[in-house]
Chains A and B, each alone.
Chain A
């Protein structure tokens, strides 16, 4: 609709009313735009739970906003300022649908970026693909966001839970003699995604799981589940739980004298919120997979990217918690979006944006662990796919082994 109009109209007043609404200036030669992009601005939309049960994640939306503020202060992207419109969906899927329709149809954003939550993104998955609006780098670890054939407009970001669990299963089979595995699982989509991956990774060795216990996120403790796992005689403990329960279960295991080989999901790998409350003496040699640097981990203190991040925190998030890994996450994912938009040049169409998003080769994303890069292709919609295993030693994690990647199903 918006073709290049090199001739300036004599007077806007003479134009029909509709034309007044369209940009009445000459476009940069060679530039092509879809909704949400002009010579001066790129508009991207986002939903985040600023209220409701998942509002702890709201800091991600705020941190992304301050990332774009930094980009704009530095002159924007190819001379265009980024306008980041982030709306509150309270983690409620119907609300997400409403907010996203507002973003796409009223605000006319170029793309959605890092919309948060698995059920919320599921609710808009089909809509985004029907509308052909890019739905990029989602803030969810579910494994269903990388299906370019059925959903060519949706792309995930972080290593998915399924892949991670496959890696643990393979590591257990390769390294533990005669494993008898006990699994503690949070009873929701996140827990089940891990569990499915773990089962896939074990394959025919599924009978090595001798005990599978679950808890609800509303439970006060997981003490009884931990005792049940010990009683099963298991010598491997796969812990699919969020920080509070991860700390409880590891502490309880030590208290009752259960000493299995422990695998902890990455969701709870933060030193400050899990390992410290569990007691450092209780969590020695626990294994987890990671892809992002933990800001409380002292080994990164001298890393250039961590220093840049800390400067950004001090300048743009003075009230933010510098121990909160969500700020690292927001910084890393925003950087990827930033690079993708940069690569689009002056062709800011939705099609080109998807093309560029699916065309990253070994891009280094700040704060990812050394050696981990982003690669995508028209058939590979999983940007970060690699993890490294690390073992808890003393008061921090120690990386070991190679970079591991498993193709997700």
Chain B
């Protein structure tokens, strides 16, 4: 099957990258990563210098990209590094978002301490993910994909359920306030939101990076590569798989909680099945089993969905072609081209291109 091949190939790239790396811990995080993080931290301040280019709206869009990147990373830990396929991560995203929203809405002092919603959403989603992971252990490959698919379909309906309606607001959803900058910092809401999300994202990537390069990460990948062999080596595969499911759900749940704060509104319609699919697309396009790929995937899910409509308009109005392509047709064509040109995702494609250039 194509996906297994892709995964295996991605794997080969990852392994080569790993072997090329000296095992010394100090050199683990490459300098360009720090450069990117530094640029990301300076970016919102440029609004004071060039407000036309770095506007509140653009910072907000980048914030949504970072949120998507965290969610894709969560899925990547499960699918890319542990080999379990999930079509239902939108469900954990929704649980995280609603955990945050209900706390902010129902506890009067919570809006001042909105950052507490992040660990709460993480714990909630870890528990839900872990519990879901237990029976899912019996399901392999496609069966697991179907079970998670059912989860993605069920969660928006459950949110409307009448016993939960008092908490979730039913179909009407919950309207929230945006977090405002603390200590009277002279930042706009969007600038502050950007920093809030950026700090959490960097922390989550750092944690993921540390999990993956250690003993646990190797165990996760060993299970992905050959479960029986991993079992024989003495790895508690059942434990690893459920815990990975939990961690993955927690990551995606944190992304959901952040989105609740950023959008300041949650409703069942926000977490339709397409959310799960777009996370999966982000994962595959960005690069399976690649941390940098998760960021690219997050950027892609936001950017391309937005530009697909502009592109379809451009084709019709400016190029004057007689096609009335819907935005989704454009999106689909872009995906096909990308999968054909870069079967390992964008991150994999860059690594391959770099190799080829260096000979």
Q: Which A residues fall within an 8 A CB radius of B?
A: 18, 21, 50-53, 87-88, 90-94, 97-98, 101-102, 105-106, 119-120, 122-123, 125-127, 187-189, 192, 216
Chain B positions within 8 Å of A21 at CB level: 52
Q: B327, A51: Cβ atoms under 8 Å?
A: yes
Scan residues 319-340 of chain B and give those whose CB is less than 8 A from a CB of chain A. Answer: 326-328
Chain A residues positioned under 8 Å from B265 (CB to CB): 93-94, 97, 122-123
Which residues of the partner chain A approach B52 to less than 8 Å between Cβ atoms? 18, 21
In the complex, A24 Cα to B255 Cα: how many Å?
45
Digit string of B248-268 for contact with A (CB within 8 Å is 1, else 0)? 000000000001000111111
Across the interface, name the chain B residue whose C-beta is closest to A190.
Answer: B171
Q: Which residues of A contact B272 (CB under 8 A)?
A: 52-53, 92
Q: A98 near B306 (CB under 8 angstroms)?
A: yes
Contact of B172 among A53, A92, A189 (CB under 8 A): A189
CB-contacts of B133-191 with A (<8 A) = 157, 160, 170-173, 175
A125 to B328, alpha carbons, bound, how many Å? 27
Chain A nearest CB, measured from B325 CB (Å): 12
Is the CB–CB distance between B57 and A93 below 8 Å? no
B60 part of interface (Cβ distance < 8 Å): yes
8 CB-based A-B contacts, threshold 8 Å: A18-B52, A50-B326, A51-B326, A52-B274, A92-B274, A94-B265, A106-B57, A187-B160
B309 close to A88 (CB less than 8 A): yes
B50 to chain A, nearest CB (A): 11
Bound CA–CA A93/B171 (angstroms): 12
Q: How large is the interface on B (under 10, 10 to 19, 20 to 34, 35 or more residues)?
A: 20 to 34
Tell me the complex Cα distance, A172–B263, Å: 43
Using Cβ atoms and an 8 Å threshold, which residues of chain A touch B60? 98, 101
Partner of B173, one of A98, A122, A127: A122
Q: Which residue from B160, B172, B327 sits with its C-beta under 8 Å from A122?
A: B172
Q: Which residues of B contact A (CB under 8 A)?
A: 52, 55-57, 60-61, 64, 157, 160, 170-173, 175, 259, 263-270, 272, 274, 306, 309, 326-328
Contact across chains for A125 and B259 when beta carbons are under 8 A apart = no
Residue among A53, A98, A105, A216 making CB contact with B64, cutoff 8 Å: A98
Q: Find chain B residues with CB under 8 A from A216 CB.
A: 157
**A98-B64, A101-B57, A192-B171 known; A126+B327 contact, CB < 8 A:** no
Given known contacts A92-B272, A93-B269, A105 and B56 CB-to-CB distance under 8 angstroms: yes
Note all chain A residues with C-beta closer than 8 A to B306: 98, 102
Give the secondary structure class of B's interface: helix
Contact across chains for A123 and B274 when beta carbons are under 8 A apart? no
Inside 8 A of B173's CB, which chain A residues have their CB?
A: 93, 119, 122-123
Q: CB-CB < 8 A to A101: which residues of B?
A: 57, 60
For residue B265, which residue of chain A has the nearest CB?
A123
CB distance from A317 to the nearest CB of B (A): 13
A106, B53: Cα distance in complex, Å: 10
Q: Tell which of B263, B264, B268, B327 touches A88, judged by Cβ atoms closer than 8 Å.
A: B327
Instruction: List the B side residues contacting A90 at CB < 8 Å.
Output: 274
B309 and A87 form a contact (CB under 8 A):
yes
Select from chain A the residue with minimum beta-carbon distance to B171. Answer: A189
* A122: chain B residues within 8 A (beta carbon): 172-173, 175, 265, 267
Structural contact, B175 and A92, CB atoms closer than 8 A: no
Nearest to A144 among chain B residues (CB) is: B172
**Which residues of B have CB within 8 Å of A189?**
170-172
Q: What residue in chain B is nearest A187 (Cβ atoms)?
A: B160
Task: Knowing A101-B57, A122-B173, say if A91 contacts B327 (CB, 8 Å).
Answer: no
List 12 additional A-B contacts (Cβ < 8 Å) besides A119-B267, A123-B265. A53-B272, A88-B327, A91-B269, A92-B272, A94-B259, A97-B264, A119-B172, A119-B269, A122-B172, A127-B264, A188-B160, A192-B170
The residue of chain A having its C-beta at the shortest distance from the C-beta of B189 within the complex is A130
Provide the bound-state CA to CA distance between A105 and B61, in Å: 12
**Nearest chain A residue, comparing its CB with the CB of B55:** A105
Can you name the residue of chain A whose Cβ is closest to the Cβ of B259? A94
Inter-chain contacts of A120 with B (CB < 8 A): 269
Task: Find the A residue at minimum CB distance from B56.
Answer: A105
Q: Which 4 A-B pairs have the closest CB atoms?
A: A105-B57, A189-B171, A123-B265, A119-B267
- Closest chain A CB from B153 CB (angstroms): 9
- Assembled-state Cα–Cα distance A53/B64 (Å): 23
- Contact partner of A93 (CB less than 8 A), chosen from B61, B267, B326, is B267
Contact between A50 and B175 (Cβ–Cβ < 8 Å)?
Answer: no
- Cα A91 to Cα B271 in complex, Å, equals 11
Cβ-closest chain B residue relative to A117 = B269
